[in-house]
Structure 1
Amino acid sequence: MEAGFLAADMLAPALERQKHWGSPLGKVLVSTGIMRSADVARLYGRQRGLPVVDLRTEPRDPALANPQELDFYLKEDCLPWQRRAGETIYVAGNPDAARTAIAAREGRHLPVFVTSQNGLRRLLARDFAPALTERARFDLMRRMPESSAAARLSPIQAAILALFALLLPIALLVAADATLKAANVALGLVFVSLACLRYVSIFVGLTSPPSPEETAYADRGSPADADLPVYTIMVPLFREARVLPILARALREIDYPASKLDIKLIFEECDPETLAAAKALKLPEHFEFIVVPDSLPRTKPKACNFALPFARGDYLVIYDAEDSPEPLQLRKAIAAFEAGDEKLACVQAQLNYYNWNENWLTRQFAIEYAAFFDLLLPTMVRLGMPIPLGGTSTHFRTALLREAGAWDPNNVTEDADLGLRLALLGYRCGVIRSTTQEEANCRLANWVRQRSRWIKGWMQTYLVRMRHPIKLYRSLGFRGFLGFQLLIGGFTLSSLVHPVFYVAAGMGLASGAGEPGQGALLTAFNVLVLISGYSLSIAAGMAAVSARGLFPLFGQTVMMPAYWLIISAAAYKALWQLVTRPFHWEKTEHGISSMVEGRLARSGEKSISGTSY
């Protein structure tokens, strides 16, 4: 108040919030936008009688810091600054907390000056960018090479593929009819098995007892605000200037003490426009901006890996730029983690779309998401199967995320891969009943780019995990191994081959297959595959949209066969890119829905034009 940062009538509400949230007053004032981190540092120094260092005008001596000690600097919010009179002086965001750790590291007590916490982290991100980038790109490859998608095929897989390429022409020459029929039946069984899993999900997903973490918040609520832990929110951004106001509003509406939110907006160095748009929003300083230096692969998982060392929360969630999570979602995740055991490493929230009724494509997309997140994933959790995570609204125990090696920068569906890697390490992932609303892709070309990237990533994940199939079976058990084969392998394979059944059935009928000796049984099998596969999947879609209350979509489920055909087109593009551009991240364009302008208006911000994609 003496310094002029807080008016007299603001003191009582600030102190009440401090008491209720259980955070230092400085964090409360910074997170509510009343003060800046640099202002708190100056007042802290005045109160403690310590010198205050502005790292922008009083630079550090670069020879004093060791990149190998980066984790220590980040953990303790400190850094060796300068030498004076033969003594190393440290700066810290909280000298009282850092002083003991520095003395233990250096073997003696050293002077510790005050600096802005946010300014210190910005300096660490900038000055240690080469070390952070190298870690983001190669850490998983070094620690767990068998889990890295950097190599598309293992030597054994390459040998098997070469052998298959050699034997297939021979089999076609020697017994073409028998070979094609056997392949036809095998692929048909895969297609029907996946459809049966979808059908089973109706009964297991809607009627079986939920897991403890699914109902934890409804059963027990969340801890009091003062007892809630720090929660990190990471949002990787690339060419997302247009939707930033919507994102900012959604994050500010999250029902969680702002002083305990550690929000990281992650920008690419080659995208200054989005960073400038974020700065123009003038967000409170618990929104931290992290700029990732340009390097290949330019992927979301690499950006998340770069930012992960700065995460201060016990728990961490990933959101996408177009996300609007339910305000209670973090509290529901905390309740789920407390209800689960120490092996619960992650919980996945449900995803669906606010523009689900915009056009035919968004309606089909919404049906697919409802069936996947509301039925299939809960079914796999309840049956004890590992789940492929959804890429957003995935909540982690931060320590276990780091133990698992974080994200594979070379896998373009990084969370599907991570969910399986956690299972191999003996951990499990659950689901929670909380929805994040996203923007459904409403343009076909943009949808194909997004879907081909997803399928390519599932192909990468399947190849990585099948490098050691026996080890995978032993780690996951029969049910887990079967679930992996059906969902990751079966979905990918059926996306590629199910149009073949149209062709095979059509050719059989056209050639008079109803006559004896003309392949009547095989033609009937192909027709049955198509009818049963689509019927079971349509039934699952109907159940999912009904359970979610999207009743106008009930009749739209009969259009799923047409939707699956364009999925197949995306799958063939994915296969081509797996060979030619395996690590290329195809950018999905956001902010193109006709509903975006209305959401921008509700966010109290004008549309930011000129975004390039």
Structure 2
Amino acid sequence: MNRGGRHRPGANRESYRLALLVHAVVLVGAILLFGVDRTLGWMATALNVIFLVFFFRHLAFAVSAARWAEGDLNAPLIGTDDFTPTVAVLVACKDEELVVDGMVSALLSLDYPRERLTVVVVNDASTDGTGARLDERALADPRLRVLHRRPGAGGGKSGALNDALALVDAEIAVIFDADHQPEPDVLRRLVRHFRDRKVGAVMGRCVVRNGVESSLATTIFIDYLSGYLVNEYGRQALFELPAYGGANCAVRTSLIRALGGWNPHTVTEDTDLTLRLLLEGHRVRYDPSAVDFEEAVLSSQRFWKQRYRWARGHQKCLRDYWRPILRTPHLSPMEKLETILFLWVYHVPVLCGLGLILIALHAFGIGDASIIQMVSLSALLFAGPFCELAVGLVLGRVERRAVWMLVGFIPAFGMSILTATKSYFEGMWGTTYSWVKTARSGAT
């Protein structure tokens, strides 16, 4: 796999463009051979099968979380005093002047043996006052080490983390983002899982701290209850396959070094690392009691850019890794299926958009009525995530106005269709895209 810093960039753009052309040729050929109605009917049937699979997947995660998650959320922290591996906390910062003080204060308040902990914050060529604020805090507390990267150093967050990793000699690396404020016991909760040598990484739970700042922040707060609680809990409970989430996460330094570090050729280094760990026979563990608070974006423009980046990176991971996932001996057939479904998550909204087009065509009498009416089952694509959202609201004790919160979530589904579709076609066409940081507002 990706050792010695040699990261596989994926197939060339010509092959992806050829794939788009093949899709178009097959569609046109089917229409010429079988007619518009039958072709659209077959497409609708295929979509219904896919939507049904994902509906039962979401439903299974929701049921698992509803049944078992509450006990794990409230699990006491016991038996950790005798297991304190050396830990390096790594944070990449770029133009984070508004949030860096709160983050540093939270990191320096972590409950972990002082002599076993190193904190390294990377100032990734910031153009605001981030570097000066970090230097000021480092002078006041020697536990904080600051690394200043030069402009043009490259690699985005992955490059910054790789530079920080080179400075430390610790058994475990714990990653936070610049706007994060972890609870004091997070490190003890995360590292306890590394007693199991098969565990390569551990993911904690991220909670939005400014969910009342705006309707968009409220939507993201609910989304995190579903994604960072119900969805990941279900993936662990049913398959032991949660994802490394990129922040509030821990990884063995020996493994990340053996894998060549974080991949600078992806904009979602977390998903990329999840897959590389699985392919090497290691597992990710999810601990919902390891809580970390972060800031939600407050503008639709920032939300669009963030979700587009997630879709673009996730879709690239599918293109890069689906073959190795199917061939690896470290996953069972069911685990391979779940991993492929996980990688398909940001493709499903594209298919949902296609389903809406088929519904519109049927409204104008285009399509095989006996088959295409089944497209109404595409509602299952929304019903599954709504089950997760509802369970997340209950587990998060957000029960007041819960129904209206779910209704208000519908526009977010529409945006997911647009961002995922744009990402899919631009990614397949080979449109250049590089890592773009999420701008912060300093919300508390």
Same fold? TM cut 0.5 = yes
Select the residue among 585, 592, 595 that pairs with 2:435. Answer: 585
- 2:44 pairs with 171, 184, 187, which one? 184
Which structure has more RCO (C-alpha within 8 Å, separation ≥ 6)? 2
Structure-2 separation of matches of 1:369 and 1:343: 28
Matched, 1:294 2:154: no
Aligned amino acid, residue 589 of structure 1: A
Which residues in structure 2 correspond to 1:14-33 (within 5 Å)? none
Distance 2:21 2:135 in 1: 53
Indicate yes or no: 2:184 matched with 1:327.
Answer: yes
Percent identity between matched residues is 20
Distance 1:572 1:297 in 2: 28
1:375 corresponding residue in structure 2? 230
Structure 2 partner of 1:545: 393
**TM-superposition CA deviations, 1:529-588 (whole Å, max 9, x none):** 22x232232122111111111223622113333210011222233235524544411221
Is residue 302 of structure 2 the alignment partner of residue 411 of structure 1? Answer: no
Residue 351 of structure 2 is matched in structure 1 by 497
Partner residue, 1:395: 250
C-alpha distance in structure 2 between counterparts of 1:439 and 1:464, whole Å: 31
CA offsets, 1:497-550, max 9 Å, x none? Answer: 213323322442453x8xxxx7333343112222x2322321221111111112
Distance 2:359 2:19 in 1: 31
1:526–1:216 distance in 2 versus 1, CA, 3 Å? closer
Q: 1:198 aligns with which of 49, 53, 58?
A: 58
Q: 2:285 aligns to what SS in structure 1?
A: strand
Q: Work out which of the two has the higher radius of gyration on C-alpha atoms and give 1 or 2.
A: 1
- Show CA shifts across 1:92-132 (max 9, x none): xxxxxxxxxxxxxxxxxxxxxxxxxxxxxxxxxxxxxxxxx
Question: Which residue does the alignment assign to 2:384?
Answer: 536
Secondary structure, in 3 states, of the residue corresponding to 2:166? Answer: helix
Separation of aligned partners in 1, 2:86 and 2:206:
24
Please identify, of 418-427 and 288-297, the stretch whose mean Cα deviation from structure 2 is larger. 288-297
- Whole-angstrom distance in 1 between the partners of 2:198 and 2:81: 21
Shift of 1:261: 1.8
Counterpart of 1:174? 33
Partner SS, residue 395 of structure 1: strand
Alignment of 1:217-366 (within 5 A): 218=76, 220-223=78-81, 228-269=84-125, 271=127, 273-281=129-137, 282-295=139-152, 297-338=154-195, 341-366=196-221
- Give the C-alpha shift of residue 257 in structure 1: 2.6
**Does structure 1 retain, via aligned residues, the 8 Å contact 2:65–2:391?**
no
Query: What TM-score, normalized by structure 1, do the two folds share?
Result: 0.66
Letter in 2 for 1:310: L
Contact 1:240/1:590, CA 8 A, preserved across alignment: yes
The whole-number CA distance in structure 2 between the counterparts of 1:376 and 1:343 is 22
Check the 8 A contact 1:299/1:410 in 2, yes or no.
no
Q: Which amino acid aligns with 1:222?
A: T
Distance 1:154 1:174 in 2: 30
**Bigger CA drift: 230-239 or 393-402?**
393-402
Q: Which residue of 2 aligns with 1:462?
A: 318
Report the Cα offset of residue 443 of structure 1.
Answer: 0.7
- What is the CA-CA distance between 1:360 and the residue it aligns to? 2.1
Q: Give the 3-state SS of the residue equivalent to 2:207 in structure 1.
A: strand
- Alignment gaps of 5+ in structure 2: none
**In the TM superposition, what is the alpha-carbon distance from 1:207 to its structure 2 partner?**
1.9
TM-score by length of 2: 0.90
Paired residue secondary structure (2:264): coil
One-letter amino acid matched to 1:495? P
2:67 is aligned with what amino acid?
T
Q: Does 1:446 align with 2:294?
A: no
Contact 1:501 1:527 in 2 (8 A): no
Q: 1:322 to 1:437 in 2, by over 3 A?
A: same
Distance 2:431 2:249 in 1: 27
| Counterpart residue identity of residue 30, structure 2 | A
The one-letter code sitting in structure 1 at the alignment partner of 2:391 is: A
1:387 and 1:416 in contact (8 A); partners too: no
Q: 1:470 to 1:176 in 2, by over 3 A?
A: farther
CA contact (8 A) 2:386 2:406 kept: yes
Gap change, CA 1:526 and 1:283, over 3 Å in 2:
farther
1:522 to 371, 374, 377: 371
CA distance in 2, matches of 1:151, 1:567: 24
How big is each residue's C-alpha offset from its partner over 1:420-454, in whole Å with a ceiling of 9 and x where there is no partner?
11011000001112211111112100000011001
Residue identity in the other structure for 1:220: I
Mapped partners of 2:401, 2:118: distance in 1: 38
How many angstroms apart in 2 are the aligned matches of 1:242 and 1:152?
Answer: 39
2:418 matched residue in structure 1: 569
Out of 339, 343, 350, the residue aligned to residue 484 of structure 1 is: 339
Separation in structure 1 between the aligned mates of residue 400 and residue 69 of structure 2, nearest angstrom: 28
Distance verdict in 2 for CA 1:372–1:274, change over 3 Å: same
